[in-house]
Amino acid sequence: MVITSNDITVKVDHVSKSFGDFTAVEDLSLAVRAGRIFGLLGPNGAGKTTSIRMIVNITAPDSGTIELFGQKINSQLQDKIGYLPEERGLYKSMKVGEQLRFFAQLKNVTGKDAQQRIDTWLERLKLSEWKQKKTRDLSKGMQQKIQFISAVLHDPDLVILDEPFSGLDPLNVELLKDVVLNLKRAGKTIIFSTHAMDIAEKICDDICLINRSRKVLEGSIREVKKSFGRNSIALRVEGTNGNLATSNLVSNIQHHSDEVEVLLTANANPQDFLKELIASGAVVTKFEMIEPSLHDIFIEKVSETQ
Amino acid sequence: MTKLLAVVKREWMARVRAKMFIVSTVLLPAAMVLFGVAPALILSIDSGNGLRVVVVDGTGKLFSRLKTSLQADDAADVDATVATRANRIAAGRRSDFVLEELQPANRSDADVKAQLENRLRAKEIDAYLILPPDVMQTAKAQFVRRNTSDLISTRRIRDAVDAAIRTQRLIEARVDARTMSALGRSVDFETRRISSGGSERDVGDSFLLVFVVGFIMYISVLLYGQVVLGAVIEEKETRIAEVLFSSVKPFTLMIGKLLGVSLVALTQLAIWAVAFAGFGLFGVSVLASRGIPTRLPSIPFHFYVYFALFFLVGYFVYATMYALIGSVVTTTQEGGQAAMPIIMMLVVSFYLFLPVSRNPDSPFSFWISMVPFFAPISMLVRIVTQTPPFWQIALSLFIGFSTVAFLTWIASKIYRIGMLMYGKRASIPEIVRWVRS
């Protein structure tokens, strides 16, 4: 796929950042395409947060350039970004409504307009009745939703969410996931940083995996999975269990409760394996090609570079 | 601008609405009144009737004078100052002494003493005073009392005896009463200054006001420096800073915080000023209705402008220092300790009052009044004593406000980098590197 420059919302070009002797980000290049959900993945301390801080213009890179919406980053562009940092914080003694109004003002959204957006968002996240309550009276999950609202209140074109789902109950995770997908439908670009692979797998279009301050992997989820196309098959058969390992097409077998996961050798054709099975007289009740999960890719890649 | 106003408004609202603000607005003046008035009240508590004193007047000439001066009712007390008179009116106080004269007749001194000792022991009297016949020459009197720790009344009696003897001596030297009162008049000391313009003016009031301005500055810095410190640390402790920095420039945030907190201070000062002015007017009218003259201080108008400007410079220089400390440290407690030197500087700037007022035009005074930390008080002293050329005043103000801007800029720089390193205090070399970056 050819990517033209006006498709790109965020362009990070050979960026490095270190704190004293510690290198947080090294020679990172990535492109976030407009209107897509971009997953910035990596283990703790990989350099995700530092990368995001540079994109949001909180810290400046030591070297390299960052462009947003085709311009070099500057403080005006900050108003087009909504940022939910991993470090959660709200003014505890302020009322929810006041707090949101304050954050809206910081993004140059004021007056009736702000008021209306606050009400809409509180409604959408089922927090309307808490508007006049002090923030400290809210549960942690509610506070997190409030902070999410403060990040999207000014209708930013780029939304950056650092671990937005951590600490939420499954119901709220679903709620917030829908909201994020709606933002995408509305044409917003979303950068989503997490180490929770199951959610990333469900909502991301593109991913970038970083580990130890370096980029390990980048691309659309489909491309990535394809390139990881391991010959793995979930299999349930009756009759020949013992003989599976003797096939020269099989490199590894893992036994699960009522099925086995068969990893074929690199160039083996699954169809040949199926033929072999049937020829051996086995009754095949399940034969399914397994795509590697993001989780598997993550673990493989991260332990590779450890 | 919207962003700056938003920060200022938030800082102001959050604090003015806090219970702490309301409590301190009411309690601080109350505490000051308490500390000011309570000692006077306690001292004036009369633990019983007047002091019963028996006077053995060997000369036979002093007792009546003693009695009038010690038991004098207030109207006759010509020398009493307005203040003490007002006090007495307020307290409706009766005389502190009950004097009784004892004629020795033909009894011996020892006899008289023995009798008085008995009466003392029987608690019929509290003290006795023996003025021997030759007291006019020897000036030696004897005062015996049960309780010698009441220094105040002992001194009053001594002063009264002193005055009575002096008067008696003058009478015996045939000095008439008018000459006497003319000679005894105390000096009416009027301080005047000659300004470069040649006009004369009373310095006293202006001088006092410099003290008042300095004092208010001191109180504001003491009270609100900590608040500035807390405000700067707040976002570090609550971890809101990261969100804020994704929306506002650190400099805007820092200025907003300084202004917001300062407006809180000004709000409180304004409340106190209005209350004080109200009470003052009430007090003046009460005094006036009792025939006690009061007058408003005579201070030229442009002095008030200088007072206001230098108060602001002083307040902001010190408040910014607190902000700077707040940007470096991670907890409020840590900040409190680090702020000690600031208070020291403020105290030093008070002490500089003296050398500067003694020699307001010296090079020393000039340089001191150009140092932003000392300028507010020392420049005001110079202005009210020998007003320096305008360029010096302007320069001092300029240096002051520039320092505020510069310190704020440094603080915001340290703040931005420091807040991203939660829980870790920066070392001095690190800070220097941050500021330079």
pLDDT per position as a tens digit, B109-143: 788 888 888 888 888 888 888 888 888 777 788 88
Region B84-102 average pLDDT: 60
Strands (E), B58-199: 97-101, 127-131, 142-145, 192-194
Q: Residue A205 and residue A37: Cα distance in Å, rounded?
A: 5
CA distance B416 to chain A (A): 8
Give the amino acid at A250. Answer: V
Identify which of A301, A217, A223, A228 has the alpha carbon closest to the alpha carbon of residue A266. A228
Give the amino acid at B307. Answer: F
What's the mean pLDDT when you consider all of chain A? 86
pLDDT for B47 equals: 55
pLDDT for B160 equals: 85
State the best of A77, A87, A161 to mutate against chain B, taking most chain B CBs within 10 Å.
A87
For residue A215, list its beta bridge partners: A210
Measured CA to CA in angstroms, residue B115 lies from B35, B57, B135 at distances of 45, 15, 21
Measured CA to CA in angstroms, residue B20 lies from B14, B51, B168, B335 at distances of 11, 48, 63, 20
Provide the token pair at B428.
């001095």
CA distance A25 to chain B (A): 15
B238/A108 Cβ within 8 A: no
Instruction: Provide the pLDDT confidence category of residue B95 given band limits of 50, 70 and 90.
Output: low
For residue B211, list its beta bridge partners: none
Region A143-172 average pLDDT: 91
CA distance B427 to chain A (A): 12
pLDDT per position as a tens digit, B340-378: 888 888 888 888 888 888 888 888 889 988 998 888 888
pLDDT for B198 equals: 47
Q: What are phi and psi of B426, to 5 degrees?
A: -80, 145
The number of residues making up chain A comes to 306
- Among all residues of chain B, which has the CA nearest to that of A111? B2
Q: What are phi and psi of B329, to 5 degrees?
A: -80, 170
H or E element that contains B255: helix B250-289
Q: Which residues of B touch A103 (CB under 8 A)?
A: 243, 247
Q: Are A209 and A299 spatial neighbours (Cβ–Cβ below 8 Å)? A: no
Compare B37 and B395 and report the one with higher pLDDT.
B395
Q: Which residues of A touch B235 (CB under 8 A)?
A: 89
Q: What are phi and psi of A164, to 5 degrees?
A: -70, -20
pLDDT for B78 equals: 44
Cβ-proximal residues to A251 (8 Å cutoff; 6+ apart), any chain = A263, A264, A265, A266
State the best of B17, B20, B236, B242 to mutate against chain A, taking most chain A CBs within 10 Å.
B242
A134 in contact with B, Cβ within 8 Å: no
Q: Which residues of A touch B242 (CB under 8 A)?
A: 53, 58, 83, 85, 87, 89
B422/A93 Cβ within 8 A: no
Region A118-142 average pLDDT: 91
- Coil, strand, or helix at residue A218? strand
Q: How many CB atoms lie within 10 A of CB B355?
A: 15
Compare B206 and B17 and report the one with higher pLDDT.
B17
Its ipTM equals 0.78
Pick from B284-298, B383-397, B399-413: least confident: B284-298
Q: Residue A162 and residue B305: Cα distance in Å, rounded?
A: 52
A105/B5 Cβ within 8 A: yes
A91/B247 Cβ within 8 A: no
- pLDDT more than 90, % of chain B: 8
Q: How far is CA B216 from the centre of its chain?
A: 10
Pick from B185-199, B215-229, B307-321, B384-398: least confident: B185-199
Give the closest of A90, A94, A105 to B6, CB-based. Answer: A105
H or E element that contains A194: strand A189-194
Q: Residue B8 and residue B254: Cα distance in Å, rounded?
A: 10
Pick from B79-83, B118-122, B180-184: least confident: B79-83
Instruction: Provide the pLDDT confidence category of residue B292 given band limits of 50, 70 and 90.
Output: low
Pick from B174-183, B269-278, B302-311: least confident: B174-183
pLDDT for B186 equals: 67
B248/A106 Cβ within 8 A: yes
pLDDT per position as a tens digit, B40-66: 677 666 555 677 888 888 888 888 888
Provide the token pair at B328.
């470096």
A58/B243 Cβ within 8 A: no
pLDDT for B45 equals: 64
Give the amino acid at B310. Answer: F
Cα of first residue to Cα of last residue in chain B, in angstroms, is: 26
- pLDDT more than 90, % of chain A: 36
Angle, helix B82-91 to helix B19-44, in steps of 10 degrees = 90
Q: Which residues of A touch B247 (CB under 8 A)?
A: 78-79, 103, 106-107
Region A254-265 average pLDDT: 81
Q: Is A240's pLDDT higher than 50? A: yes
Q: Is A214's pLDDT higher than 60? A: yes
Provide the token pair at A305.
């570079």
Strands (E), B123-217: 127-131, 142-145, 192-194, 200-202
Q: Residue A173 and residue B82: Cα distance in Å, rounded?
A: 78
pLDDT for A183 equals: 93
B416/A93 Cβ within 8 A: no
Cβ density class B365-393: b for 16+ within 10 Å, e for less = bbebbbbbbbbbbbbbbbbbbbbbeeebb
A78/B246 Cβ within 8 A: yes
Q: Residue B390 and residue B396: Cα distance in Å, rounded?
A: 10
Give the closest of A56, A91, A110 to B240, CB-based. Answer: A91
pLDDT for A182 equals: 93
pLDDT per position as a tens digit, A20-56: 778 888 999 999 999 999 999 988 888 888 899 899 8
Compare B83 and A41 and report the one with higher pLDDT.
A41
pLDDT per position as a tens digit, A79-95: 899 999 887 788 888 89
Instruction: Provide the pLDDT confidence category of residue B90 given band limits of 50, 70 and 90.
Output: very low
pLDDT for B74 equals: 43
Q: Which residues of B touch A95 (CB under 8 A)?
A: none
Q: Is B249's pLDDT higher than 90? A: no
Q: Residue B353 and residue B355: Cα distance in Å, rounded?
A: 6
- Among all residues of chain A, which has the CA nearest to that of B3? A106
Place of tokens 């590197």: B433
Measured CA to CA in angstroms, residue A96 lies from A117, A150, B256 at distances of 13, 10, 21
Cβ-proximal residues to B326 (8 Å cutoff; 6+ apart), any chain = B228, B229, B230, B231, B232, B233, B335, B411, B415
What's the mean pLDDT when you consider all of chain B? 79
- Among all residues of chain B, which has the CA nearest to that of A148? B243
Compare B74 and B270 and report the one with higher pLDDT.
B270
Q: Which residues of B touch A91 (CB under 8 A)?
A: 10, 14, 238, 240
